[in-house]
Chain A
Amino acid sequence: MNVQFFIDASFILATLLFIYGLKRMSSPVTARSGIVVAGWGMVIAVVASFLYVFNVAPEVKPHLTVNIALAVIALALGLGWAWRSGKKVEMTAMPQMVALYNGMGGGAAAAIAAIELFGHKAHGPIVLIMAVLGGVIGAVSLSGSLIAWGKLDGRINGTWRFTGLQAFNGLILLTLLAIGAWTVWTGGAVSPLLISVFFILALFYGVMMAMPIGGADMPVVISLFNAFTGLAVGFEGYVIGNAALMVAGMVVGSAGTLLTLLMAKAMNRSVSNVLFSNFGASGDEAQGEISGSMKPIEAGDAGINMRYASKVIIAPGYGLAVAQAQHKLYEFVKILQAADVDVKFAIHPVAGRMPGHMNVLLAEAGVPYDIIYDMEDINGEFKEADVAIVIGANDTVNPAARTNKSSPIYGMPILNVDQAKQVYVVKRGQGKGYSGVENELFFADNTNMVYGDAQKVLVAMVQAVKALDGGGH
C-alpha cells in the first residue's frame, strides 16, 4: 500500500533531521539551529504516524474512532503540559526538569512493551527479548528519573541505604530476569498477573537504584537514565518494526553512555562507584591540620584591586546561581573589561548541578561563550593571572584534591586558582563545601576572604569601582 511508503519516507526524513540536528548541536555557533532542525523532524514523524490509521487490521476497525480521539487528546495533554512547564522552569532547575522529561520517555517505552506483552502481540524469541528488555529498562528509567527529579527538586531529602541493600537489589534484578526469561521461553504466553508483577518490580528496582545516591552524584545518574531511555526506545522500535525509533534510540543510548562516562571521569569516579558506594564514606575524618588563618578583605577593596589588575580569572560555582548573582557578576565583568582588564571565566567540569550547567547559567546572564573556558584550557593560565576570584565554589578549587590522599575528593582534577598571584574567595560564611571537606585554599598566604552573599558582594564591588572611575574624570 502506498500509505506505508509515505510513512516510511517521513520516518527516514525525520531520522536524517535528528542526526543532522544533533551534529549541529555540537558547536555553540550552530547549536540553536540544530535543535530547530531536529524539532521539525519530530513534527514530521508525529504527523506521519497518523497515517497508520489507513493501515489497521480488521479487528481494530471498530475501535478506530475512539483510538484516534484518544490519540489526539493524549498528544494535546502531554504536549500542552510539557510546553508550559518547559517555558516556566528556572535555569537553575534545569537538571531536574531534564530528569523528569527523560523519565516520561522511559515510561512511554515501558507502555509500548506492556501493550505487546499484555496483548500477546510479540512473537518469536528475539522480538520477545527486545520487548522484555525495553520494558524493564524503560520502567527503571521512569521510576529512577522520578526519584532523581524529587531529590534535585528538594522534594525527597536524604539518601537511605541499609546493609544488604545491594544483595536485596540483586535479588530483585534476578527475579526480573527470571520472569523475563520465562516470558521468552513460553513464547509470551504468561498470565497478566505475572506481567503486572514484572512491571511493578521493574519500577521498584528503579526506585531502589536511585534512592541511595546523593545529590552531587545525581547528574551522572540522570545521564545514565537518559542513556537507558534511549536503549529502551531503540529496543521497542525493533519490536514494532520502526527503524526511526531504533536509530534515534540507539544514538541516544550510546551518546548518553559516553556522556555518563565523561561526567564520572570529571569527578574522578567510576560509574559503578557512583552507583554502589556512598560519597565521602571512604575517607575517615583523618584530615591534616591546616596552618594559617583566613584573612578577610572588604568587597570594595577587592573590587578596586581587580580594576587595576591586568588579568583576572573568575571561577564560579553553584553558589553564584543560588545567590542569583550571575547578572551582577557580568555587570562587574563589563566594568573591568571597559578598564582594559583581561577577564576570563574558568569552568570546572562539574560546576553547577550538571556538567555544562554553569555555562547555561552564565549564558542566561548574557556572558558571551568566548570568554568562558573549560578547565583543561585555562588551568595553565592561572599562574599568569593577577587575581583569581572564586565565587560560590569550594570543592572544585580545593588543593587537597591534589595532595591529601585521605581526602574524599583526592584525585579529582581541580582549577589551579591557588597559583594566581592573589586569590579572592567570595563566601557566605566559614562553612565547608558540599563534600564536607575543609579547604586549605582559604588559609593560603595569597588568599583573602570576601564574606557575604554573592549578590551583595558584587553590588559593593561595582559601586566601589564606579565611584573610583567617576572621581577620576
Chain B
Amino acid sequence: MDATTAITGFVALYIFMLAAFTGYEIIGRVPAILHTPLMSGSNFIHGIVVVGALYMLINASSVIEQALGFFGVILGAANAAGGYVVTERMLEMFKPSDKKKG
C-alpha cells in the first residue's frame, strides 16, 4: 500500500468499470471458432496475479507470510506459464487454406 500512485475508492471504480467494458467489447466480437483458445488466453492474462504474489512474498516479514507468498507465487507462475503454453499451441495450429495447392 506504499505505492506512490495511490488508488482511492472512486478512481478504483472508474478503473474497474472501464476494464469491464473493455473485456466485454473484446470478447463480444470474437468468432466462436476461437472460444477455446480465448478462454485459455484470458486464463493466461489473469496469470498476472503472479506479480501480486511476488509483491507479497518480497514484502513478507513472518514465516506464515513467506509460506503463503511462496505458495502463491508457485500457483501464479503456473497459471501464467501454463496458460501461455497451451494457448500458443492451440493458436499455432489455426491455418487458412493453402491457395496455391488449391
Contact = CB atoms under 8 A, between A and B. Distances in A.
Interface of A: 1, 4, 8, 11, 14, 18-19, 21-23, 25-29, 31-32, 34-36, 38-39, 42, 45-46, 48-50, 52-53, 55-57, 59-60, 63-64, 66-68, 70-71, 73-75, 77-79, 81-83, 85-87, 89, 91, 94-95, 97-98, 100-102, 104-105, 107-109, 111-112, 114-116, 118-119, 121, 123, 126-127, 142, 222-223, 226, 229-230, 232-234, 236-238, 240-256, 258-259, 262-263, 347, 349, 352, 354-357, 359-360, 363-364, 366, 368-372, 374
Contact of A101 (B57, B68, B82, B89): B82
Contacts of B97: 368, 370-371
A364 B93 CA distance: 6
Contact of A56 (B35, B59, B96): B59
A66 B69 CA distance: 12
13 contacts: A11-B51, A42-B48, A107-B75, A126-B12, A238-B12, A240-B52, A247-B19, A252-B23, A254-B22, A258-B23, A359-B34, A360-B90, A368-B98
Closest 4 CB pairs of A and B: A78-B77, A86-B85, A111-B72, A356-B35
Given A108-B72, A118-B65, 4 more contacts: A38-B41, A45-B48, A95-B36, A111-B53
B42 A256 contact: yes
A52 B2 CA distance: 11
A363 B72 contact: no
A63 B66 contact: yes
B52 A105 contact: no
Interface in B47-91: 47-62, 64-66, 68-91
Given A107-B75, A245-B51, A86 B58 contact: no
Contact of B32 (A230, A245, A253, A355): A355
Is chain A's binding surface mostly helix, strand, loop or mixed?
Answer: helix
A21 B88 CA distance: 12
Given A35-B84, A101-B79, A241-B7, A28 B94 contact: yes
A52 B97 CA distance: 48
Interface string B1-29: 11111110100100110011111101111
B95 interface: yes
B39 to A, nearest CB: 6
Nearest to B5: A8
A8 B61 CA distance: 24
B27 to A, nearest CB: 4
A250 B23 CA distance: 7
B75 A52 contact: no
Contacts of A142: 75
Contact of A26 (B29, B68, B69): B29
A250 B96 contact: no
A111 B68 contact: yes
Contacts of A243: 5, 7, 15
Contacts of A63: 60-61, 66
Contacts of A77: 74, 77
A32 B88 contact: yes
Task: Tell me which of B45, B68, B74 has the highest count of chain A C-beta atoms within 10 A of its own C-beta.
Answer: B45
B20 to A, nearest CB: 4
Contact of B52 (A48, A57, A114, A245): A245
Contacts of A38: 41, 44-45, 84
Contact of B26 (A19, A101, A249, A363): A19
Given A67-B60, A108-B79, A86 B86 contact: yes
Contacts of A89: 86
Nearest to B85: A86
B52 A242 contact: yes
A68 B55 CA distance: 10
Contact of A234 (B19, B57, B71): B19
B73 A259 contact: no
Contact of B53 (A21, A59, A108, A127): A108
A252 B22 CA distance: 9
A250 B75 CA distance: 19
A83 B68 contact: no
B54 A52 contact: yes
Contacts of B45: 18, 21-22, 38, 230, 248, 251-252
A166 to B, nearest CB: 27
A134 B26 CA distance: 24
A204 B3 CA distance: 35
A364 B12 CA distance: 42
A52 B77 contact: no
A352 to B, nearest CB: 8
B81 A71 contact: no
A373 to B, nearest CB: 9
Contacts of B78: 78-79, 81-82, 101, 104
